[in-house]
Every structure is written in structure tokens, then in C-alpha cells.
A and B are shown apart, each in its own frame.
Chain A
Amino acid sequence: MAINHTYVINDKRIEEDLLVTDVTIQFTGDITEEVSTSVYHFRPQTVEEVETNIENRIVTEKDKVLARQKIEQIITQL
């Protein structure tokens, strides 16, 4: 399964100890879907850390999309 993604940080702000990034993730390839969400970073130290956090979140969002697709397949087979 080949799934690619790009993301855009639409907004960013500070909330107490948190850096918040509002991101839109565009999945392409075997899934085509756009996900918009907020990613919360607790006391981040570097830009790289924030980027890694977003990539982690993209993995989670991809898994959620795949899981939902699987559920939709299963429910039609029941």
C-alpha cells in the first residue's frame, strides 16, 4: 500500500505551555482524503521536534482513515 501525504500548517499559536498547530493533511495514493486537525506540542524545544510531532500525528490520522475504511468494508459484508 502506497500512501503519500503532504501537510500545511494553517495556523499556529501559544496556549500556556503548549504550541498549537492547526494542520491540514492531504493523503494521496491508496487513500485520498484530507484531514484537518490541531496538534498540541507540550513545551517543544526545536522546530524539528514540532515537525516530528506532526509526522507522528499524521501516522495516527492515516491509521484512523484506514481503520474507518476497513470498518466500512466489514459492515457491508455482515
Chain B
Amino acid sequence: MPIWRGTVDSNWGTAGNWLADGSGSGVPTALTDAVFDNLSPNCTVNVAGVCRNLNFNSGTGYTNTITMTNGITVGSTTAATASSVTLSSPMGINGSGSISTRANNTITLTSNGRQWPNAFGIGSVSVSSVTCNVTFVGNWTINGTLTIGAGTSVQYTFIGAINITCNGNLAFNIPSAASNAIRATAGSITTIIIAGNCTWTSIAPFNVGINININSPGNTVNIGDNCCYGGLGTAAGSNFTHTAGTVVTSGTFHLLYASASASYTINLNGSSSTSATTTNTGGVNFNNLSLRTNVINNAQSCTLSSPICVVNDFSITSYAGVTKGIANLLSNTAFLNKNITINGYSITGTTTFRLQGTGSWSENNTLTSGATGFGLSNPIVINTTGTITLTSFVGIYSGSLTYTAGSFVLTGFGLRVVGSTLAGLGSAGIVIPTLYHTTTTAGLTGGARITLTDTVALQITNLIFEGFNLNRAFAYGGNIGFIVNNFNYQQTSLVSGSASQFGLANSVTYVVLNSFIFNAVSANSSSNIMQTLNDSTPDAIFTLAFGASQDVFGMGGKYINSSAGQTIWSRKGLLTSTTNWQNWTYPKTRFSTFTN
């Protein structure tokens, strides 16, 4: 291995300065090492330096000064060959040249407590590798730009529970393929501390599992478009945290989701203000935030330790061939100040989505009847002095929608709801143009039941039931009913079994004004019953307004009082303890008159 002796002059590029030893002689190449020891004099990197391993800590360590007039690229051009950079504690470093490491399969970076004052690249030069395992020995401090990645698809794994304090810019140079990642190592998670007056950039969204901590008191950190966190390669305890410093965001930040990956935490102290901007002196306000997912089962979760704020667009974005991926946010509140675009769904999300600005809310075109993967399970609260406008049907899936304040414009669209609570819409005078009531379960609870909580009945123009299956029910709970113009319950397949009822809350009033379609596929099934939730008195009040049309076949009633409206005539439905319901009486004798 060439050892630096500087016997001719002080230039790296002079062959006679390097003492032949081991790996070769002369100026180091990508196949030989560059070694500095306690006998090595000053060195000037007068040419673009190259070496396989760069070691400043041979012997008792380099004590003189290297002047980085040019950069040094470390690592073999053969991916499988390991490479390393080892600094020495007392070494001097002048000049502005960088150290760039090739993305070899194995890299070891040892600081020995010495700060690197210039730019530093980890796996930032391509060598056609697929994986790049980087082991850190000791904490690192890098005062120039830290670049990770070579712009090629590589899965990086960082090993070592150490801190990389980044006082300069942080640049992720990794493309967006689903498997691309900076993975953490379980039990030994590396942390990048963004500590400077700096910029964090990323060429594309990809998976980040190591910890990232913004701790830059008195400074401003700019987070650019495509910066990202989470997804593949997280480990138990992975987190993205803000500790100190002003943060300015632009473009879209991505929280990644992958299947069978550890849950992760973000703690960013987002602003709750309705006038929040992309500058936050005490946390992070996202400009746009995308929950980027290709998860269709075994979903990863992101837990919020503090609120998040999205100044402009919030979205769930499915990718990598997945049309509707899962993205769960857990705990706390997301303050959403503009548009909501859902191209995916949440299935166990618990973070409250507070819509508190003016914007649109939409869900993609694959929101279809009876689908199980749609909508948001997160509690949604509309609480704004602005206007929330639906630009498509949107789904509420085992979640809730609470209206507190604001204009909620649903014109031409409406809601698709499974097993959720709707609160406050009736007293606000909001009319839902179309509500698709979807069911996923038997019985009268869980995925069958919509709970209405209000002081005024929920007004719906078209109430359409869907998701019919052999053994599924529909039900309404809560303290209030609905007023529906057009009620359309049309079984589309044979419903049987004991759990396919239609349930209404005891003593609550439900009204149909114009059209009542309540049709089974088969007649006289004991399960085809409109009944009270507890299958007992007191009756539910179901009123079919005078003048409304009705078409009831095979559907009966039990503990239903319809005395306030017109008689409900059921063809072949089973009636038990109903008031103002009648079966059609079919004539036993038919009369005919023949005229000769």
C-alpha cells in the first residue's frame, strides 16, 4: 500500500512521494490504498485523488496537514471490494476538496473524532452495486455537503448507532425505485443530525429508515421537493424529529409506507394555526405532504408524537403499480390547510385530519361500490372559516366525519360510508346529494352501522345501499335519524342467514320523502327485516311521506312504527309488531268476463 512520504515534493500526484508497501507503489489508484502515518509530512492533493482505502490513522496517526486542493474518490471499481475512510484525530485539513466514496458493497467510515470540514459523499460514486453497507465507527461531523447516493438504484444500509452531524447541506441522490433505501439496522440505528444553516434536498422520494433529527438552533433549514422519510428499511425506533431551528419547506415531502416494515415515528411540532406558512420557527410545516404507499397488506404505520401541519396539498399517493395502497397515520392531529387528494386509503389510521382551510377533497376513480379498500379511517373534522369542496365522491371507512364549522360543498358528489359516525352535518343544514351506504359485515354493528350524532336529522337526497352479500346487514345508530328524498335499497344478490337485517335505532325518527325502494331478491326470508337495533321495543319511527312512491318486496318489518305517514305495503315481507305496514293481499279468485 502506498504510504505517503513526500520525499520529492508535497504533491499527491508525484509518484516518488509514495513508499511502495503491500498493495503497490506510486500514486494510489482505485486498486491501491493511500496511507498516512505519524511519519507522513504535509500533503497537497494537487490532482483528483483516487484510492481504494484512505487511511490517515496508520501507526500512531497522521499529525500533519492535508490540503484538499482537489477531491479524493475512495473505493474500488469492483463493487465487492471493501473500502474505508479513516481519519486521525490530530490531522490538519486545509482546502475545500471533498471525499467521495464509491458505493461498494462494504464501506467502513471511522472518524476518530476528527471533523471533516468539506463535502463528503457516502456511496456517491457508482460502481454497479445493488447493496451498499456502510459501517460507521464513532460519531461523524461533516461541515460541507453530505451526499448520500450516486443517482443509481442502490439499497444502502447504515450500521452503527452513531450521529452524523451535518453542518452543511444534506443531499439524497437516490432514485425513486420501490426498493431503494437508506436502511437502518435494528438495534443500531444511525442518526443524521441536520445542524447547519443548510438545505436538505432529494432527487426523488425513496425509503429512509435511519433517524433524521433537525437540531439547528439559530439557523434555518430548507427542506426541498422530494425529501422523504419512512418506508422500507425502518427499524424499531426509527424517527424523524425536529428539536430546534427554523424550517422552511418547499415542494412535496413524502412519508413512505412499505409492507412488513417497522413502524416509525415523526415528531415535527407542526403548527395548528390556520394561517400557517411554510416557515416554522419551532417545527416543520409541510408545504405539500404525500403519504406514498405501495402497501396492500401488512401495512406499516407512522405514529405522530406531535401535530403535523400541511400548508397546501395533502395526499395519499399509491405507486409502483399499486392503485390503492394503505397509508396509516396514528395519533395526534394533522392540520390540513388546503387540498386533500386520496389515491389510496387508511385502514387503521387514528390521526385526526382537521380540514381547516379552503380547498378541495377528492378520492381517485377506483372508489367503487362495495370495495373494501377505499376512504379514510381517520377521524375527519371540518372546522374552517373557509370552504371545503368535494370534487369527487369520498370515502369514510370505519372512521368519522364531524362538522364543526365552514362551508362544505358537496354539489354533484357525496360520501361513500362504511361503519362510521357522521356528526353535526344535520344541524349545519348540510344536504348530502348522494350517500352510498356500504356494508362489510353481518349483524347490526361494526361495518354495517352508520352512527348519526346530531340535534337535527341528516338530510340526504339519494341514499343508496350497496355491498350486498349473502350475509351482510345495514344499520343506523346514534341519537338522530335521516330525512331522505330517495331511498334505494335493492338487493343485487340473494341475501339469507340471520344477520342480514336492516337496523334502525330505537325511538329515532327516519323519514323518506319521495321514493322508497326496499326490495329483496327472495320473498319471505326471516332475515329481510327492517327492525330495531335491539330487536325489541321501543319502536323505531320510520315515516314514508304521503305522496311518496313505494316499492317494497320481500322486506318486512319488526318494531317499526310508520303511523306518521302513508301505509307501507310490502309484497311478501314478514311483518311483526309493525304499525301501518300491510302485506299485499293477492286475490285468491280471479274474475273474468267474456263477451260473446
A interface vs B, CB < 8 Å?
15-18, 20, 22, 37-43, 53, 56-57, 59-60, 63-64
Contacts and interface: CB of A to CB of B under 8 A. Distances in A.
Contacts of A43: 352, 379
Interface residues of B, number: 24
Contacts of B403: 40
Contacts of B7: none
Interface string B335-369: 00000000000000000100000000000000000
B404 A57 contact: yes
Contacts of A37: 427-428
Interface in B442-496: 453-456, 479
A42 B402 contact: yes
Given A43-B352, A60-B385, 11 more contacts: A15-B423, A38-B454, A39-B405, A40-B427, A40-B454, A42-B352, A42-B404, A53-B405, A57-B405, A60-B405, A63-B407
Contact of A40 (B384, B402, B406, B407): B402
A52 to B, nearest CB: 9
Nearest to A43: B352
B456 A38 contact: yes
A56 B406 contact: yes
Contacts, number: 61
B546 to A, nearest CB: 29
B379 A39 contact: no
Nearest to B456: A38
Given A16-B421, A18-B423, A60-B405, A38 B455 contact: yes
Contacts of B352: 42-43
B424 A38 contact: yes
A20 B456 CA distance: 13
A40 B452 CA distance: 12
A6 B126 CA distance: 68
Contact of A15 (B407, B427, B479): B479
Contact of B405 (A17, A18, A22, A59): A59
Contacts of A63: 407
A18 B565 CA distance: 33
B46 interface: no
B381 interface: yes
6 contacts: A15-B423, A37-B427, A38-B455, A39-B404, A40-B423, A63-B407
A24 to B, nearest CB: 13
A40 B424 contact: yes
A38 B427 contact: yes
B398 to A, nearest CB: 14
Given A37-B427, A38-B455, A43-B352, A17 B406 contact: no
Contacts of A17: 379, 400
Contacts of B407: 60, 63
Interface of B: 352, 379, 381, 383-385, 400, 402-407, 421, 423-424, 427-429, 453-456, 479
Q: Select the residue from A20, A37, A60 with max chain B CB neighbours within 10 A.
A: A60
A9 to B, nearest CB: 14
Nearest to B453: A15
Contacts of A40: 402-404, 423-424, 427, 453-454
Contacts of B405: 39, 53, 56-57, 59-60
A42 B104 CA distance: 53
Contacts of B383: 53, 56
A18 B453 CA distance: 9
B419 to A, nearest CB: 14
A37 B381 CA distance: 17
A37 B405 CA distance: 11
B379 A56 contact: no
A56 B421 contact: no
What are the 5 tightest A-B residue pairs by CB atom distance, in nearest-first order?
Answer: A40-B424, A56-B405, A57-B405, A38-B427, A38-B455
A40 B403 CA distance: 7
A13 B440 CA distance: 32
A38 B430 CA distance: 13
Given A15-B479, A16-B421, A41 B427 contact: no
Nearest to B454: A38
A60 B381 CA distance: 15
B20 to A, nearest CB: 72
A37 B427 CA distance: 6
Nearest to B424: A40
Nearest to B272: A49
B379 A60 contact: no
Given A39-B424, A40-B424, A42-B352, A53 B385 contact: no
Contacts of B454: 38, 40
Contact of B385 (A20, A38, A56, A64): A56
Contact of B453 (A16, A57, A64): A16
Contacts of B453: 15-16, 18, 40
Contacts of A15: 423, 453, 479
Contacts of A64: 429
A18 B301 CA distance: 26
B331 to A, nearest CB: 12
B208 to A, nearest CB: 31
A20 B478 CA distance: 14
A69 B70 CA distance: 74
A18 B385 CA distance: 20
Q: Select the residue from A16, A43, A56 with max chain B CB neighbours within 10 A.
A: A56
A16 B404 CA distance: 15
A40 B426 CA distance: 11
Nearest to A63: B407
Nearest to A52: B383
A43 B423 CA distance: 13
A7 to B, nearest CB: 13
A41 B423 CA distance: 10
Contacts of A56: 383-385, 404-406
Contacts of B427: 37-38, 40
Contacts of B428: 37, 60
B424 A22 contact: no
